[in-house]
Structure 1
Amino acid sequence: MLERLIAYLDSVKARDPAPRSRWEVLLYPGVWAMGYHRIAHWLFEAQLFFLARLVNHWSRMVTGIDIHPGAKIGRNFFIDHGFSVIGETAEIGDNVTMYQCVTLGGTNPTNGKGGKRHPTIADNVIIGSGAQVIGPITVGNRARIGANAVVTDDVPEGATMVGLKARSTLVPAEDWIKEFIPYGTPCDDPCEPSRDCIEKLEAELKSLKDEIAALRAEREPDQRSGTDD
């Protein structure tokens, strides 16, 4: 158990340059939230639902992170900072990184029955701050969810999702499948197709300004000649 804890702390330290030692990582609210969740999930699996909720409620008060006891979470899950929500039927794989203010939310079942209503997050996924991943969708292995993206459809393996509603940046997977991309939001030219649109709009705007200037130049001699008459 101690070896697993040390491996977990080291995995967090490898993804976050802020801590100087494992002792600092032990103070992270995300680490405490995961510890409490392991207890709550064990109680939930034993059908001790009230006790599981009690542990969950305490964890939320002291960490600011709300993880339903029913959520299934793999190894080395790192929540940086906190203030996030993970729903009951969410499933999270290994080595997933999630930044602050993220929601792994569910859709409202119309029949009043629970069922699978929260996302499934595959291994090595990075979810940027403020992202909302909603519904019983699957986020593929090594996918990246950009900050403030709203994702309601399945995400292909290795894709980077940005925007509201989120769309894939269509970056070739081999370009961005790296060991780790902080915040899940690469910002170099290849991952921002919107720049092309902005450049086109700026070119069109310049063309329109030039046309307006030419029309004004044509009208000025006519106005002057009319005044002379």
Structure 2
Amino acid sequence: MLTVFRFAAWLQRGGVPLLPRFLYALNRVLFAVVLPPTVRLGKDVRLAYSGLGIVVHARAVIGDRVRLAQNVTIGGRSGHHAVPVIEDDVEIGAGACVLGPVTIGRGARIGANAVVLHDIPAGMVAVGVPARVRPAPQAGAMPP
């Protein structure tokens, strides 16, 4: 699935007219993932369950070593031209939505089914609807 995406993106950058669109449609039908060839995708990105149900805006930027669980939406918001920027080493839980002109900082974690509408600082955890920021738990520490 990511191989098909990367090939389509390479063809898109090379100016090939129709084949990238066909490969995008192939990915959508075979893997149920909406990953346009114009998305800027970093190295070692992992999509759970072959990207099942993942939707990514065509102008989104996703950094290196990002993990996306199933049914994640990274998209725009009405009234905003800018779309999400996901920095390196971010984990996004199942069903989460990252919408609008949002930057998710390096090493942040987004909980399952969270709806992120504001920037998340590096190394923080965001949970809830709408998502609220909390510090990441320390290794071995018991939650309150």
Query: Which structure features the higher share of helix residues?
Result: 1
Structure with larger Rg: 1
Q: Which structure exhibits the higher relative contact order, with contacts defined as CA atoms closer than 8 Å and separated by 6 or more residues?
A: 2
Matches within 5 A, 1:107-126: 107-108=77-78, 117-126=82-91
1:62 aligns with 2:22: no
Matches within 5 A, 1:34-183: 34-81=2-49, 82-108=52-78, 117-169=82-134, 171=135, 173=136, 175=138
Structure 1 stretches of 4+ moved >4 Å: none
Q: CA RMSD in A?
A: 1.8
SS in 1 for 2:119: coil
Q: CA deviation at 1:167?
A: 0.4
- How many residues align? The count is 140
In structure 1, list runs of 5 or more residues that go unmatched. Answer: 1-32, 177-187, 191-229
Aligned to 1:4: none
Q: CA deviation at 1:89?
A: 0.8
Normalising by structure 2, what TM-score? 0.89
Gap change, CA 1:162 and 1:64, over 3 Å in 2:
same
Aligned to 2:143: 189
In structure 2, list runs of 5 or more residues that go unmatched. Answer: none
Normalising by structure 1, what TM-score? 0.57
Partners of 2:120 and 2:131 lie apart in 1 by 10
- Percent sequence identity is 36
Gap change, CA 1:109 and 1:45, over 3 Å in 2:
farther
